[in-house]
Amino acid sequence: MASFETPNNALESLLRVAESSITVRDLTTTQLWSVAGNEQAADIAALMDLHRFDVAPVAARRIASYVEAEVLRGRPGVASDAASPIATQHLVSSSLPLSEMILCLEDRPWYFVLDHSQVTSLITRADLQLPAVSTVIFGFVTVAEASMNQLIEHHLGGDWEQLLTHGRIEAAKRIHALRLAHNAEITLLECIQMCDRFDLIATQPQLVASLGFTSKRSFETFSKEFAELRNTLAHGGNLLDAHSDPLQGIGLFRAARGFAQRASELASDLEMLWDAYSKTVVEIENPDWHELVGENPTALPDDIVHVITAFNPRSQLRTSAINLAAQASLATIVQHSATQTWGARGSSPDGAWTEQSIAATGLTRTQACTIGSRFGQLGIFELSGAECRVVACSDEAVMRATPRRHVPANP
């Protein structure tokens, strides 16, 4: 089954939360510590060393300068004599997304925060250990996990279970059973470990390349670091627990954010597929062609009709000869289990794309999805009354449910 359009992305809101919902203002919750400019430089340096501060603003009604402990040490005179003006490159806005602020700390070790034209706080690389930073990073981890699950389902279908060891599958099944016992709506795939997800993706070289990796080794190296970062955060740790060197920690964050963004972009294409499938015009040959889903649908031949194709599995285009041979095999299997079958076809709304299918009555949803999965399909159509449901073959979930009668497009 191939796609015809590209509407919106279900992961966009989740990614937006990670990228911009937490700002610099959420990080700076303590009162700004400042020094008196008229006190001796050596005394201020000793005080800053005591507090382990490298830089501090000089107290004023409107803060405009700062001092550095390294400059003050052993210097005669008062602190203000060694003060430097706060310049534009030293400032960030309090509304700056924290995900961007983390990357700014790659360029310099500290910044003053400007809020309503006033310097209100100071951010340094030491702040990378604060909970707000961990929250942002874990947001990207969550985006990556959700995206990886969709990519695995798309590229491997139900075959992914055969690619993990018996022990890993059994561990996931125990977690799955426990979650189900507590009424959680969750799939087995959502219960596997992060390292398992990376192992499954590693079996698909083209997918690895699409995620931005130039070699299997670079992917394996990143996957280990990402999994360790995720586990560190999940157990209450922070970025500096994962990497004690702040610059290395920021580099890991940059890589993790980029991976989450790329995985989300690829997964969004899959969400667009489901939207595109829901716009498919479905026709049945009985004996002439009649619409079952479209602008002028006719009555269904039975209460439930399933429509399945073998064309272009997982939306990967194949030659006409290969598609027709697969469709013939599918028809034989469906006819063996169904009460009645008809020739069918699915088309894009503008008629530019058409795929042969088979319509059948007498199948259960499980039977229809099992057959579709056997031929590499992401989903099948289930028609009932006035509704058309697009059902995922992997777990029988209804991905889209729309009226069988399509609203005519505006001319």
CA distance 32 to 369: 61
Query: What is the token pair recorded at 225?
Result: 């670091």
Classify strands 289-293 and 110-115 as parallel, antiparallel or unpaired. unpaired
Quote the pLDDT of residue 409. Answer: 58
Closest CA relative to residue 284, chosen from 265, 300, 267, 304: 300
> In sequence order, what are the residues at sequence separation of 6 or more whose Cβ sits closer than 8 angstroms to the Cβ of residue 382?
304, 305, 306, 365, 368, 388, 389, 390, 391, 398
Instruction: Outline where 296-353 has alpha helix (H).
Output: 320-337
Q: Which of 351, 151, 347, 372 shows the shortest CA–CA distance to 267?
A: 151
Length of the chain, in residues: 411
Report the relative pairing of strands 354-361 and 289-293 from DSSP bridges: unpaired
Strand-pair partners of 110? 124
Q: Is 315 left (phi over 0), alpha (psi -120 to 50) or beta?
A: left
**Burial label, 338 (beta-carbon count in 10 A; 0-12, 13-18, 19+):** buried
User: Which residues are 387's β-sheet partners?
Assistant: 384, 403
Does domain 24-127 fall under CATH 3.10.580.10? My reply is: yes
| Domain residue limits, the chain | 24-127, 132-275, 279-403
Task: Give the span between the Cα atoms of 353 and 347, in whole angstroms.
Answer: 5
pLDDT score recorded for residue 10 = 53
| Tens of each residue's pLDDT in the chain, 411 residues | 654 443 335 567 778 888 888 999 998 766 789 999 999 999 999 999 999 999 999 999 999 999 999 999 989 999 999 999 999 999 999 999 999 999 999 999 999 999 988 999 999 999 999 999 999 999 999 999 999 999 998 888 778 999 999 999 999 999 999 999 988 888 999 999 999 999 999 999 989 999 999 999 999 999 999 999 999 999 999 999 999 999 999 999 999 999 999 999 888 887 788 888 999 999 999 888 889 999 889 999 888 999 999 999 877 789 999 999 999 999 999 999 999 999 999 999 988 899 999 999 999 999 999 999 889 888 999 999 889 999 988 778 888 999 998 877 555
Between CA 75 and CA 69 the distance in angstroms is 10
Query: What is the DSSP pairing of strand 91-93 with strand 110-115?
Result: parallel
Please state the separation of Cα 101 from the chain's center in Å.
Answer: 21
Enter the tokens of residue 160.
Answer: 């992914």
Q: State CA 83 to chain mean position distance.
A: 46
What's the number of CA atoms in the CB half-sphere (13 Å) around residue 2?
Answer: 16
Task: Check whether the bond before 408 is cis (ω within 30° of 0).
Answer: no
DSSP readout, 242-270? H-SSHHHHHHHHHHHHHHHHHHHHHHHHH
DSSP run (H or E) holding 103: helix 98-104
